[in-house]
Amino acid sequence: MIPDTPPLSTSLHPAGGPVVVFDFDGTVCLGDGPVLAYAEAACARMQADDARSVRSRFEDWMAGRSSDHHADAYVALAALARPILGAELSEAYLDSRRRLVHDDLGVRPPEGLLDLLDELSEAGVRRALLTNSPAVGMDETLVHLGVRGRFDQIVVGAKKPSRMPEHLRAVLGDEPAHHLVSIGDNWRNDVAPAVDLGAVGMLITGAWGDSALPPQALAVQRGHQLSELLPALRRFAADAEAFAPSRDLAR
């Protein structure tokens, strides 16, 4: 563990005040390098014909040339590779994460994230990172991104979406639900469980915009990238109670 930073954990604990829960891949960590390394590791485990087919179809999806709808690139790759690899796909994923220990794979933080995390802390809002990614390579990547010491809690192997309601209730403690914001790029994993709980959901729509989003997702605050959500997050930090009535743009 890096000195003066919270340990990586598998569960959240009460924040003791308003809290913003961040997803990792596609939210705090940008760049296609990790998922391309995942695809490379998966294809290396296949017969040549299967590998060529999966690689070509995945490239089409990444370029927007596919009609298949998936929540993100990891889901898209898994849909293509799991029928061929089965349980071996998990090992391919871990191989890609091990590469992060020695190679940052070109990842970067989104514009405005570092300042936002500092501003949240100054406003007394706690900052939690909740990711399905394993601990492998996580410390190194967080240090590279400049955020390792900017989160109050960091949970790996979170098992979203099944455990997401549990994580959110735990971090809220005795706080009302609307004192929590959950922000991510996966509606089902990151945002829907928060909305169901009565908390604030914010959705990053990324390169695929609002296409194929369920109707409920169109009612939450969303942006193509994190920078578009910064004003709303700052309003929440300034006064979580006053922000609550505006948390759903459809109302």
In the chain, what are the domains? Answer: 8-30+107-246 (3.40.50.1000), 33-102 (no CATH)
**Eight-class DSSP state of 142:** H
pLDDT of amino acid 67 = 85
- Cβ-Cβ contacts under 8 Å for 234 (sequence gap 6 or more): 116, 119
Looking only at the bridges linking them, the beta strands covering 153-155 and 8-9 are parallel
pLDDT of amino acid 44 = 97
pLDDT of amino acid 30 = 94
d(CA 44, CA 238) in angstroms, rounded, equals 50
* Exposure string for 193-231, b = 16+ CB within 10 A, e = fewer: bbbebebbbbbbbbebeeeebeeebeebbbbebbeebbe
Tokens 């300034």 found at: 238
pTM of the model: 0.90
pLDDT of amino acid 3 = 47
Which residue type occupies 30?
A: L
pLDDT of amino acid 225 = 92
Residue-wise pLDDT tens for the chain (251 aa)? Answer: 454 678 899 999 999 999 999 999 999 999 999 999 999 999 999 999 999 999 999 999 999 898 888 878 999 999 999 999 999 999 999 999 999 888 889 999 999 999 999 999 999 999 999 999 999 999 999 999 999 999 999 999 999 999 999 999 999 999 999 999 999 999 999 999 999 999 999 999 876 666 667 888 878 999 999 999 999 999 999 999 999 765 544 33
User: Taking the chain, what is the end-to-end CA distance rounded to the nearest angstrom?
Assistant: 44
Helix axis angle, 88-102 relative to 138-145, nearest 10°? 50
